[in-house]
Chain A
Amino acid sequence: MADLLQIHEPGATPLPHDGEEAIAVGIDLGTTNCVVAISSEGKPEVLRDEDGEALVPSVVAYAPDGSAVVGGMAKMLILDRPEAVVSSIKRLMGRGLDDVKSLTGTLPYDVEPGETEGMVRLNVAGHRLTPVEISGDILAALKERAELHLGAKVDRAVVTVPAYFDDAARTATKDAARLAGLEVLRLVNEPTAAALAYGLDEGAEGIYAVYDLGGGTFDVSILKMQKGVFQVLATGGDAALGGDDFDHAIAEHFLAERAASQGAKVITSSEAKAALMTARLAKECLTDQPDGEWMISFDDIMTKHALDRETFEGLSRPLVEHTVRICHDVIADAGITPDDIQGVVLVGGSTRVPLVRQLVAAEFRHEPLADINPDEVVAVGAARQAEALTVGSDTLLLDVTPLSLGIETMGQMVEKIIPRNTPIPVAKRQEFTTFQDGQSAMSIHAVQGEREMVDQNRSLAQFALRGIPPMTAGAARIEVTFAVDADGLLTVSAREATTGVESQIEVKPSYGLSDEEMRDMLYDSMKHAKDDMERRLLAEARVEAERSLNAVVAALRVDGDLLTADERAAIDAALQTVTDAMAGTDRDIINGLAEDLEVATRPFAEKRMDRGIREALSGHSVEDFEDADEEPAVKAEESA
């Protein structure tokens, strides 16, 4: 454990200089388990504990003082101290209470009463916590695991999310990472990450399906893989369907048996947690065993429950058939037939259930590929992508929007602006107009989903464009632009075209945290928030200064002959001072000197533009000019 000595207190950590950039990690933040991996020089590695275990259970136990324990230790406390333990928190990310499944009418979470709007708050061991904070604690534990392993500070990560996660859940995940002190380089869709890992390691080419059934979410993606390009053709899923639902089905079955012998009773949320835990053990056991017997014990009454695989399959069949129907639609969306598919890759622990394998094989007409570890492959893909983003790579991920994005129009109808399965990044503009004479404001309501009516889809955000000058109905031209970035996050802007009145929002979902809440949490949770901010600003200053340096050096290489010896010496000196400053840690000095460099090179830039214009006018290229014999000129390519 000599590595431990290498870890510095935040703030005391020497800042990374060029060439010794800290490694970025890949994190699979799952409903049931998490995995963290790294990749260096094309070789991914899953980080394990001293027992060789890669899976960190997504379970958090809180002590009365608010400190959190994450993973196996916390999981062991579920049966003893259920009121202090939270599991499956991912199911609440970006969600309202209506979206959460109850067990015989009881939620396996102790929800703070009186909260009907905005983000859910849970009562855990006397603390009031949001799903974002709890996920943040899980991410902080994973960050710590990576730091212990690497003996260095880790502050950048690629985090995976279910492809079918909506905008609210994606934003919540990014917020959670910020609370943990991690900058998210990219949110990558889980099936896409799995395909990346699988494709690179197995050299797969052609069209593949990834069937990803995790603890709480289901995704299926169809990808075309060729020569290092991973192009998602279509994706579909259900963000609220996973192994947890198998547990729920078994637990309901057990509790119904118990009610039959002991009489019906309303259970507490702690009892619900315990019953689900028992059901889960039963499910896992039935993967290999034909039958078994389990016990449920509360109120000092123990009941025994026998279950065989056939009964379990009867309970879970409707769920699995639902996933198969989704697969069917996604194949059609991709514009292919099952015969076009070379193979289907299974991801997620729930794909161990024999019934799942059987029905998936039938739908895709291929025995699924199970020669990968379904629990670790997503984290490996995330680590690969983290390396590609920081160090560079020839592979390319081209992903799509999982759900259509639209806007509310008259009569609560949805007008789709960006259809599902559109490659990202994407921006689309649509024009709307006013409905009444003299109308001065317009409400813009962004929704996500496939249905025709607003209330059947997820509401993402609502804002108003004000200051529209009085015009007759239908005369105003309101341009609404939806832009989805490479993380799958939406920005909506609106503009009245005749006057240019503008309004823009980054979508802050209805179930998300407000900016103030986020600021307070950051302040509370990170004592070193200021240091982290400083580090980030310094890193930005360095990147910017480096860009300026490279630009000037490149210009000198091509057009250096335009300068007199004195002018050249002055620029060289300015370059040197910026280079020296970059080795230091004062970002104001770096920024200031970089600006000075821009000023110092202004006359040089003018000479270069003059030359460029002269060449363009005469129709000559660089080689035809007088300096052609000085050196074998680097050909200025006509176009890329």
Chain B
Amino acid sequence: MQADPTETLTPFTGHACPQECWSCKGPVALEDLFCPTCSTIQPLGQVDHFKRLDLEATFDLDVNDLDRRYFELQGKLHPDRFATKTSQERTLSMQQATSLNDAYETLKDSLKRADYLVHMMGQNVLPEGCQLISAPDLLEEAMELREALAMAETADDIDAIAARAAGDIDDCEIGLSKAFAGEDIEGACALTTRLKYLRKLTDEVRQQRAKMTAMS
């Protein structure tokens, strides 16, 4: 996520230099979705996902808050609101709604949200991101569970693995909440990696379970 270059050029705090509204040519602030003068939809501002939804950048997001903000904004920006407008307005609406969907999808999911936050906060601390499984105990755990899954013979065996994974996911999310709150970026990064792996495992468990149901 890059900062808007025009923002860094403005030496004044709090008040960025206004842009020109493409429709009425009046002044518009960078974060304005609609022109304050003529109410026309504006091009995308360069803001992060949290700011786009007007939410505090935190892992402990209230999902109901997120939904409420998302519906509110989509109610103003969605292409369905611009079906009879000019082609320029339709294009802008499509871009705005697309970015809003992207922000919503990212923040709604705890894994994507954690990943995004780590990148937002720690991109200079850990440039390699969260791709590496560096913790040896996690690697061992992964092997062990995969093996158990491969050996599972009954639906109950698989359900037991699923239950264990679900519990681990809950623990992981609690841990992430603490790590982000304490600005423990390394800890958050390790937990995000673990969550990524647990999700993958859950998918595999689900597929295995479906296969077993189909065969019976």
Which positions in A face B, CB cutoff 8 Å?
A: 185-186, 227, 229, 231, 325, 329, 332, 385, 388-390, 392, 394, 396-398, 422-427, 483, 485-486, 540, 543-544, 547-548, 550-552, 554-555, 557-559, 601-602, 605, 608-609, 611-613, 615-617, 619, 636-640
Complex contact A426–B102 (CB within 8 A):
yes
Contacts of B206 in A (CB 8 A): 332
Complex Cα distance, B105 from A422, in Å, reads: 8
Contacts of B62 in A (CB 8 A): none
A and B contact pairs by CB, cutoff 8 A, 17 listed: A231-B71, A389-B80, A396-B75, A543-B85, A547-B85, A547-B89, A550-B38, A551-B38, A555-B38, A605-B25, A608-B37, A613-B17, A616-B27, A637-B36, A639-B29, A639-B33, A640-B34
- A393 CB, nearest partner CB in chain B, Å: 8
Contacts of B25 in A (CB 8 A): 551, 555, 601-602, 605, 608-609
Complex contact A543–B94 (CB within 8 A):
no
Contacts of A559 in B (CB 8 A): 26, 37
Contacts of A639 in B (CB 8 A): 29, 31-33, 54
A483 nearest in chain B by CB position: B98
Complex contact B71–A558 (CB within 8 A):
no
Over the window 104-131 of chain B, the binary record of Cβ atoms lying under 8 Å from chain A Cβ atoms (1 yes, 0 no) is 1100000000000000000000000000
Tell me if B211 is interfacial: C-beta within 8 Å of chain A. no
- B151 CB, nearest partner CB in chain A, Å: 24
Tell me if B58 is interfacial: C-beta within 8 Å of chain A. no
- A385 CB, nearest partner CB in chain B, Å: 8
- A386 CB, nearest partner CB in chain B, Å: 9
Question: In the complex, which of the residues A186, A551, A608 contacts B83, with contact meaning CB atoms closer than 8 Å?
Answer: A186
Complex Cα distance, B97 from A368, in Å, reads: 34
Contacts of B32 in A (CB 8 A): 639-640
Complex contact B74–A398 (CB within 8 A):
yes
Question: In the complex, which of the residues B27, B38, B71, B75 contacts A554, with contact meaning CB atoms closer than 8 Å?
Answer: B38
Known contacts A186-B80, A613-B18; A425/B36 CB under 8 A:
no
Across the A-B interface, give the 10 residue pairs with the lowest CB-CB distance, nearest first.
A612-B27, A605-B25, A551-B24, A554-B38, A636-B36, A389-B83, A486-B79, A640-B33, A551-B38, A551-B23
Complex contact B84–A389 (CB within 8 A):
yes
Tell me if B76 is interfacial: C-beta within 8 Å of chain A. yes
Question: In the complex, which of the residues A332, A392, A423, A605 contacts B105, with contact meaning CB atoms closer than 8 Å?
Answer: A423
Complex Cα distance, B210 from A332, in Å, reads: 11
Besides A422-B105, A616-B29, 13 new A-B residue pairs in contact (Cβ under 8 A), listed by A number: A396-B71, A426-B101, A427-B98, A486-B80, A543-B84, A554-B38, A559-B26, A605-B20, A609-B20, A612-B26, A616-B27, A637-B36, A638-B29
* Interface size of B as a range: 35 or more
Known contacts A609-B18, A616-B16; A423/B104 CB under 8 A:
yes
- Residue pairs across A and B with CB atoms within 8 Å: the count is 137
Complex Cα distance, B98 from A619, in Å, reads: 32
Contacts of B214 in A (CB 8 A): 325
Complex contact A608–B80 (CB within 8 A):
no
Complex contact A609–B26 (CB within 8 A):
yes
Contacts of A486 in B (CB 8 A): 78-80, 94, 97
A557 nearest in chain B by CB position: B37
Which positions in B face A, CB cutoff 8 Å?
A: 12, 14-18, 20-21, 23-27, 29, 31-40, 54, 71, 73-76, 78-81, 83-87, 89, 94, 97-98, 101-102, 104-105, 206, 210, 214
Complex contact B18–A612 (CB within 8 A):
yes
Complex Cα distance, B81 from A73, in Å, reads: 40
Contacts of A229 in B (CB 8 A): 71, 75
- A582 CB, nearest partner CB in chain B, Å: 14
Contacts of A547 in B (CB 8 A): 23, 40, 85-86, 89
- A122 CB, nearest partner CB in chain B, Å: 34
Complex contact A396–B74 (CB within 8 A):
yes
Complex Cα distance, B76 from A338, in Å, reads: 33
Contacts of B87 in A (CB 8 A): 540
Contacts of B33 in A (CB 8 A): 639-640
Complex contact A397–B20 (CB within 8 A):
no
- A226 CB, nearest partner CB in chain B, Å: 8
Contacts of B98 in A (CB 8 A): 425-427, 483
Contacts of B94 in A (CB 8 A): 425, 485-486
A640 nearest in chain B by CB position: B33
Contacts of B29 in A (CB 8 A): 616, 638-639
Contacts of A609 in B (CB 8 A): 18, 20, 25-27
With most chain B CB atoms within 10 A of its CB, the pick from A388, A552, A554, A608 is A554
Known contacts A486-B79, A547-B89, A616-B16; A608/B26 CB under 8 A:
yes
Complex Cα distance, B215 from A334, in Å, reads: 24
